[in-house]
Chain A
Amino acid sequence: MAVADAFSHRDKCAIVGIGATDFSRNSERSDLTLATQAALAAIEDAGLAPQDIDGIVRCESDTVLHSALADSLGIPDLTFWSAVGPGGVAPAAMIGHAVGAILSGQATAVLAFRELNGRSGRRYGQSAVTDAQVGGAGTYDEFFAPYGLLTPGQTFALMAQRHMAEFGTTPEEIGHIALACRARANANPRAQMHDRALTMDEYLNARTIASPLRLYDFCLETDGACAVVVTSTEQAEDLRQPPAVIRAVAHGSVRNPQPGIQAPVLMRESITELPAKTAAKTLYQRAGLGPDDIDVAQIYDCFTITVLLQLEDWGFCKKGEGGQFCASGEIDLGGRLPINTGGGHLSEGYIHGMNHVVEGVRQIRGTSTSQVPNAETCLVTSTPLPPGSALILRRAA
């Protein structure tokens, strides 16, 4: 028996508290203040006190260290901490670290958080390269940046163009992803795009950023933070909120994943598949579930095309048919798989995948502003470019 089978974590832990700051273009607060506010909200939501927290998991991209947050919150002793990354592949894996810490006896109540001043501070949509000479030291930027390939959006544009060429995917099909996320944001007062409707005409006529991707194919650079608290399912029974039981969590890679953070993935055998495909296989196996069992999903959406590729990788439609799946209304409320019910990165805010975890918990609690009736199972993905992670949340039996 494989170790993974012998030591199953299925249903043994739960997300018991969620917290978020407002999402804005300028928070006018420090990263530490954002992290502290989201953490306090999550701890309060769980009915716990900061003194009850004994573990912290952060994202490698957080500027706030675990010790700084523990200090800020007044946590007397951290018996566990870790960091996961890079960036958007972290959130589900961060929950996985919390589960591992709890089930191995290293902590009892673990806080996972992501904070960023992504608009007023370091902007992900701008080139991260500022030196006159670029690359080396394992970045492999020397093969990309000198040619003007400088941002994640440009890398995904190359993947989108290839998908269009291989499978006939159209801009309008991809546009349905932006429209679905926007419609969910219009129902969510916390969403940055709450008050702004989006039509297909507006989508198609928006300026090109990196062809074939247009303005509304890109997520929102955002200031904000999200946090969640994880405990054992047993402990969760005594807490304030109905638990979002962590059915299973998984990391996934691909053969020859390539080094670096972003652009080297263009050297993978396929650039129209993501590590979601391997993460899906592991996660479904661990959960004892398949795509047909998923009621609602929060799909990592740094860009629209990222969603389309994942819908195929996660088995919700056949390879190459993601465009038709989106255009046929299947990702909308009432469709086969409503996605990004808070508005997602595209229209709620870009908290690097952690707001997807928070929204996933809301769906399980029945408190989403776009609630899927009787939703019992929610998939949350953190599977953009590098090896990724994902989890499945369930209502308690």
Chain B
Amino acid sequence: MSRLLPVVDDRDTGGFFEAARHGQLAVRMCNGCDAVLHMPRAYCHHCGSWDGRWQPVAGSGTVYSWSVIEHQVHPAYPVPYTVVLVELDDHPSVRLIGQLPGTPELQIGQHLEVWFDELADGVVLPQWRPCDSA
């Protein structure tokens, strides 16, 4: 069974996956005040602007938390695997999820780098893997 595919054409979040399709990690930012809008949404309550952009960011981050999943709950996700909560280097207020195979040795602050996993034609998921430094 193939892994679950993300909806990539949602009106508020599609730009994230559009950027990923081009090998780019991007976060939603407000053009009015440069606030980060994460989870992505259209309206900025900081300044009242509806004008936003998908801002390319460095594909580097650190482990904020993690969990080794050992009890299987979905046929497409055999265990064990590890879910990481990633804090972006460029924007520490932005966290994203990654999936690592097996049960890697991890600690808070471990450096990670993004890579792009093409799940299906036109469907690309930003993924993360350990690396030596930022």
Say whether A associates with B: yes
Tell whether B97 is near chain A: CB-to-CB under 8 Å: yes
Q: Is the CB of B96 within 8 A of A143?
A: yes
Query: Which residues of B lie under 8 Å from residue A131 when comparing CB positions?
Result: 4
Tell whether B77 is near chain A: CB-to-CB under 8 Å: yes
Q: Is the CB of A143 within 8 A of B83?
A: no
- Report Cα–Cα, A263/B97, bound state, in Å: 10
Query: Which residues of B lie under 8 Å from residue A161 when comparing CB positions?
Result: 65-67
Query: Which residues of B lie under 8 Å from residue A126 when comparing CB positions?
Result: 73-74
Q: Is the CB of B97 within 8 A of A127?
A: no
Closest beta carbon of chain A to B54's beta carbon, Å: 14
A256-278 vs B, Cβ < 8 Å mask (1 yes, 0 no):
00111001101101010000000
| A143, A159, A210: the one within 8 Å of B71 (CB) | A210
Q: Is the CB of B97 within 8 A of A136?
A: no
Q: Is the CB of B69 within 8 A of A140?
A: no
Closest beta carbon of chain A to B114's beta carbon, Å: 13
Residue of B nearest to A138 (CB): B12
Binds B, one of A26-34, A148-156, A346-354: A148-156
Q: Is the CB of A264 within 8 A of B83?
A: no
- Report Cα–Cα, A144/B16, bound state, in Å: 13
Tell whether A7 is near chain B: CB-to-CB under 8 Å: no
| A127, A148, A151, A259: the one within 8 Å of B81 (CB) | A148
Residue of B nearest to A157 (CB): B67
B contacts with A, residue count (CB < 8 A): 40
Query: Which residues of A lie under 8 Å from residue B83 when comparing CB positions?
Result: 147-149, 154, 158, 210
Query: Which of B8, B65, B97 gathers most chain A CB within 10 Å?
Result: B65
Q: Is the CB of B73 within 8 A of A151?
A: yes
| B5, B10, B66: the one within 8 Å of A146 (CB) | B5
Residue of A nearest to B11 (CB): A136
Tell whether B85 is near chain A: CB-to-CB under 8 Å: yes
Q: Is the CB of A144 within 8 A of B74?
A: no
Residue of A nearest to B75 (CB): A127
- Considering the complex, which residues of chain A in the window 37-80 have a beta carbon less than 8 Å from any beta carbon of chain B? none
Tell whether A142 is near chain B: CB-to-CB under 8 Å: yes
| A129, A142, A148: the one within 8 Å of B10 (CB) | A142
Tell whether B2 is near chain A: CB-to-CB under 8 Å: yes
- Considering the complex, which residues of chain B in the window 38-74 have a beta carbon less than 8 Å from any beta carbon of chain A? 38-39, 41, 64-71, 73-74
Tell whether B13 is near chain A: CB-to-CB under 8 Å: yes
Tell whether B6 is near chain A: CB-to-CB under 8 Å: yes
B85-99 vs A, Cβ < 8 Å mask (1 yes, 0 no):
100000001111111
- Report Cα–Cα, A147/B67, bound state, in Å: 12
| B4, B38, B71, B98: the one within 8 Å of A133 (CB) | B4
Tell whether A165 is near chain B: CB-to-CB under 8 Å: yes
- Report Cα–Cα, A150/B4, bound state, in Å: 11
Q: Is the CB of A210 within 8 A of B81?
A: no
- Report Cα–Cα, A15/B63, bound state, in Å: 47
List 14 additional A-B contacts (Cβ < 8 Å) besides A134-B7, A148-B83: A126-B74, A129-B74, A133-B4, A134-B4, A136-B10, A140-B13, A142-B6, A147-B97, A148-B69, A158-B67, A209-B71, A211-B68, A264-B39, A267-B38
8 A-B residue contacts at CB 8 Å?
A140-B39, A145-B6, A148-B99, A149-B97, A154-B83, A158-B83, A210-B71, A266-B95
Question: Which 10 residue pairs spanning A and B have beta carbons closest together?
Answer: A136-B7, A142-B6, A136-B10, A157-B67, A147-B99, A211-B68, A209-B71, A162-B65, A148-B77, A127-B74
